[in-house]
Chain A
Amino acid sequence: MSAADLSWFLTFNRFGLGARLDSPAPDSDPRQALLGELATPAGASLDDAALPRSSDILQAVYADQLRRKMERDRTEAVKSTTFGMPAPSLAPFLDADRPRAEPAATPPPAEPRPAQAFFRADAETRLKQACAAPIGYVERLTAFWSNHFCVSRSKSEIGRAAAGAFEREAIRPHVLGRFADMLAAVERHPVMLNFLDNAQSVGPDSRAGQNRKAGLNENLGREILELHTMGVGSGYTQADVTELARMLTGWTLVGREGKLGEPGTFAFNANAHEPGPGRLLGRLYPQDGVAQGEAALADLAREPATANHIAWKFARHFVADSPDAALVARLAEVFRKTDGDLGALARALVLDQDVWRAPPTKMRNPWELTVAAYRAFAREPSDPGPALGALSLLGMPLWQPSGPNGFSDVSADWASPEGMKTRVELAAQFARQVKTAPSPPVLLEQILGPAASPATREAIKRAESQEQAYALLILSPEFQRR
């Protein structure tokens, strides 16, 4: 086994989404190959023009809501049960993503909602993109940032329909761009404003606040400081949270009636904006209107604590649950020196010697594992249903984390007893469905190559069937960890 071959294994696993059955034999330097993927002109952007804008999606959702409301009004006389907002569900994923062979827990709606179709289209595109990528580093980066700035499908019909569009519009264009630009795009995106309740937040002293007794909601302000930028315990106070929330009042999305602009787009509602200067982390923000929140976000992107927080999460995701402090410091320095250039951060990770020396201790999360299995067997995700079902069963339903902190990035959470049992069940099922694949020893060389341990080689050699060998390959420690 040569060091170069092992480097290729790391390239595909630590940085990418796993070797493909049809990946060409490596003939270049793995670092150059990774840098080459980062240098492709499209970056992380999708070229699928068929996918609708989030405003189109939201308009379709509004229309559907109106239609259903009118239907309800018609039957109101028969049945009058009033509830508030639907409660967020624990795992409502499989109801529509799997064939309805058995009765669902709740009766399905009479006809599929548009939200489901939009979700599936975006999910399918994401899955295809991940499966087709030569190495998959850019898609890994996309998934990382999408989880850092997560929204959830379980919040509302808006999230349910447009979580994928949020990733396309607010995350992907900036994956190799500037952090400040991604932050600005995320916090004004209608899906985020809905997810963290800012759309309804009203400045107490604004005109709207004076008139209708509505008021402040500090959810978005808090999570920007705690999760999106500086990180918890990094020096901001409750007063900073409240103040940022005040500065962001008026950042909302346009409703069905289109009073503030095109329905489903971002709008600044001056009527709801808290008047007067803001003060955050000791700095004064005298601006009027939307410029005030924008200035605050721009400054937060440059806070030293933000650089440290991002560098730590980045290293934790790609290298180790408890990453080496010196590595984190080097990445934070790159972030600071380049004013948050995320492409430079991604390149610095590739060029850091220690990243290539660290042992593969991280568990692949369900998304990485599912995609890697598709790639290893060159299986085409023509129907995203099975993959989406697998993600739900493994505890990582696509775009549906249980809270604004996103899915876990700690190995022990994925290597739980129940998680491992489900991995075995799904691998067995996957192996059962493999129609054409090379013999197990050939596949093992292509996918694990020099990294395969004697124990794994032995287990696959001695398997009682091809099917069992394929399952063991997927379940081998070399495939599960990266």
Chain B
Amino acid sequence: MSEEWHDVAMTVDGAPLQARVRARHLLSDFLLEQAGAGGVHVACGHGVCGACTVAVDGLAVRACLMLAVQADGTHVQTVASLSELEGAPRSGAEGLTPLQTAFRQHHALQCGYCTPGLLVSTALFLSHHKAAAAPDRAAILDHLNGHLCRCTGYANIIAAIESVLP
């Protein structure tokens, strides 16, 4: 595949960014290495685990399955934009969002490596359901299919998500 360089412009967590990327450069590596977005966790690197999930123009995307050059002209949001993605303010001494607070209260993470991707896609999943009825257990399980967590066994993640439902 082409080793050519491309100029791209996008916003990452609200900040405008211009950069030069190789055609083969993955969005996940670009966000980590060139955009300084440390909240993007790369685990499997080929679309299985969901840890690197970010929002591109408001849709959840596995950053390891998209090329950086494809994100030209888009708005990329990582876990650093979680408050915006949830549409809810941060609160408390540590400035946690409602979803982060729920994850902490329900012990929905241990090592935390899968957590940023889970938070981003769960925030979008819940915002898509805001207009319609609250998601049932089956819809939550379908949603979690896209994320591997090797610590929690998922039970606490499900409990955390259910605790923030209206």
A and B, one complex?
no
B residues contacting A by CB (< 8 A) are none
A residues contacting B by CB (< 8 A) are none
